[in-house]
Structure 1
Amino acid sequence: MRFFIMAIKYTTFETKMGWIGIAGTEKGIIRTTLPLPNKESVLKVFIELHEPDIDFSAISYFSDAVDMFTRYFNGQKVNFSLPIDFSGYTDFQIAVWEITKTIPYGELRSYKWVAQSIGNPKSARAVGHALALNPIPIIVPCHRVIASDGDLRGFSGGLELKERLIQLEKGIK
């Protein structure tokens, strides 16, 4: 049996909220970062996740994604209709991420709602774990998922950023 490793392309760019990184294969986007304070922070994330010998010159490859992220962080409503490559993840994780993508801008849903929506009403904790592993935040808007009691709870970028993203979207028309 032969295995083929797909080349991973990367890019970084600056938005109003900070630097973003995108990684993808010919099948689609495999990873995005949340806004980070500088380009070096983004590079460090990708080097730790993948390999030290990587090429960050793929800005044209991701031009649609860069445009969408830029518009999003400028306060414009964006439909992130981009190809995604969820290879290597479980069916449960993918189901959680796909239903989370359906949460409208400026609206919030609970972990319990996500669990019920994927047909596993008792799996709210597992939903939280799947969202903690979300490889493409913003595209899969895990910041829109909160506790049933209205508490923001965990977020890989920190609760302050989660609140900023929620407030950004409340201003989107």
Structure 2
Amino acid sequence: MLDKLKKRRTQYALGKKLPVSEAQVDGLVREAIRLSPSSFNSQSSRAVILFGKESDKFWNIAREALRAIVPAADFEGTSKKIDSFASGAGTVLFYEDQEPVQTLQTNFPLYAHNFPIWSEHSTGMAQLAVWTALADAGIGASLQHYHPLVDAEAAKAWNIPASWKLTAQMPFGSNEAGFAEKTFIDDEVRFRTHA
């Protein structure tokens, strides 16, 4: 498992040539999310998997949402960043369904305040699982957060249920550049072990 995690890196230089079929990528994403843990086995994580023109449509939604708030003098750089995400083969939109979260809050009132937090944990684990699975298949990806700016238009475009809350977007594609060496902070800062 650790060797797979070592492959997971942020890739901004994405291309459209996947090393496996779209059907295989779809299967990887589904299985990674299916196998991800969730509080009380709520299985609250959801995903919309976009390829090709559908992925481009999402990044155009993001571009137009940003055009409305980014100063005109700064928009060219913003648009180029969006272009880098759209240059990939696809995008995974990660959601958390609030219905199972609310059901757990009702059924377990003692823990009610924790279930939204635990839902965020679930989506984070699903995102890591998908990212790791993609990296292991030789597919580059990054994790982006353009919500809530894009929520309403994405919901309209893909008929997203009202109970689904957008949590992240993961553009993916071929690795069109290498990776710099990954650096780490000192273990003494990060860890404490007591026996």
TM-score, normalising length from structure 2? 0.29
Instruction: Flag the structure with larger Rg.
Output: 2
TM-score by length of structure 1 reads: 0.31
Relative to its length, the structure with more helix (as a share) is 2
